[in-house]
Amino acid sequence: MKRSLLPLLLILLLTGCGTTAENSASVEFFAMDTVMRLETPGLSDPAAVTAARDAVEELDAILSRTKEESEISRLNAANGEAAVLSYPAAALLAAAREYCFATDGAFDCTIAPVMDAWGFTTDAPRIPDAETLASLLPLVDSGSLPIEPPPPGGSAEARLFPGQAVDLGGIAKGYASDCVEAVLRRNGAERAMVYLGGNVLVLGSKADGSPWRVAVQDPEDTSSYAGVLSLTDAFAVTSGGYQRYFEEGGVRYQHILDPGTGYPAESGLTSVTVVAGANGASYHSETPPPANGAMCDAFSTALFVMGEKRAIDFWRSCGYDFELVLVTEDGRVLVTEGLQDRFEQTEGSAYRYEVIQRADEARPG
């Protein structure tokens, strides 16, 4: 299995937990199957980044389906019986169901049995036979999950059909970034740069008052980038088939599956970046509800599955507040109008840049 470990953010390499420079605390750690980094310029006390790391590791222990004692693993193993979930797991499962409905099934956390058939969660991926996929597709149905989010601090019961299983990997890191924002703000961090795999959160601006610069990686040349976003108080999440894939018989099979077919999505897109504002208002809660970080994570996957036209139509009409950068197989970078003044094209790039308007038209960037 090939993976791109740094899919989005050009970021200072951090090590350990402590201070990297005067008035700056940082931490680097491994959780949710990826390297994560946090830095708080202007806040030298490491308490904030340590608390944020602890929150992510606690979520990983609850939400991972590869950890035998996690709540999600127990739910998957219940074989149709009810399982009690704490607030984070129940609230995130309810949010995943909402995003499944919103995207007409392009995002579906009950894709887990199909993912297992492909072996994408192992070091030995494989191509399943058509009969196996046909037998598993009826299990892919987040809309059937009978769960309501409990009040913060509460719990809820969830039940899957026999054979069903959930995988929250397409939304968990986004929710982790929501929680990290809450923890950092509660601990006095006014500026932060957070990298959770392909999920980025920036708080405030840089010390000199300028926006953070977040690079969208070039799917065709992962040592380069397709453009740079200038962001303050924002989440940015990228999904792309180049991030995890295997090759067999000269064919590349990437890990983002179409829940409707069970096969890797063939949408004409090579990456999708979803950008939305950091939430702010939720930071007083000890365990905040899933918010824009979780939304960006789920939608980056769903819109990759949808493809260019459906993704743009969804952005125009869905009612959720976010912006997009789409990179296409035919060499274009599409930037929605809300990012037009915050997106910098790569000098000398072979890509053709277009701005997508809310109205049904596009124009060169």
Partners of 164 in the β-ladder = none
Q: What are phi and psi of 177, to 5 degrees?
A: -70, -35
pLDDT digits (tens, 9 = 90+) for 84-93: 999 999 999 9
pLDDT digits (tens, 9 = 90+) for 244-264: 788 888 888 888 999 999 999
CA 50, distance to chain mean position in Å, is: 22
pLDDT digits (tens, 9 = 90+) for 169-197: 999 999 999 999 999 999 999 999 999 98
Alpha helices (H) in 187-218, listed in sequence order: none
Mean pLDDT estimate for the chain: 89
Angle at 1 between CA 247 and CA 301, to 5 degrees: 90
What's the confidence (pLDDT) of residue 16? Answer: 37
Poorest-confidence range of 150-159, 184-193, 198-207? 150-159
Provide, rounded to the nearest whole percent, the portion of the chain with pLDDT above 70: 91
Q: Please, which pLDDT band fits residue 365 given cuts at 50, 70 and 90?
A: low
Cβ neighbors of 288 (< 8 A, separation 6 or more) are: 152, 178, 179, 181, 182, 279, 282
pLDDT digits (tens, 9 = 90+) for 210-238: 999 999 999 988 788 999 999 999 999 99
What's the confidence (pLDDT) of residue 107? Answer: 97
The CATH topology of domain 2-364 is T-fold (3.10.520)
Q: How far apart are CA 274 and CA 349, in angstroms?
A: 22
Higher pLDDT, 152 or 209: 209
pLDDT digits (tens, 9 = 90+) for 302-325: 999 999 999 999 999 999 999 999
* 58: helix, strand or coil: helix
Higher pLDDT, 21 or 277: 277
pLDDT digits (tens, 9 = 90+) for 7-25: 434 433 222 344 444 578 9
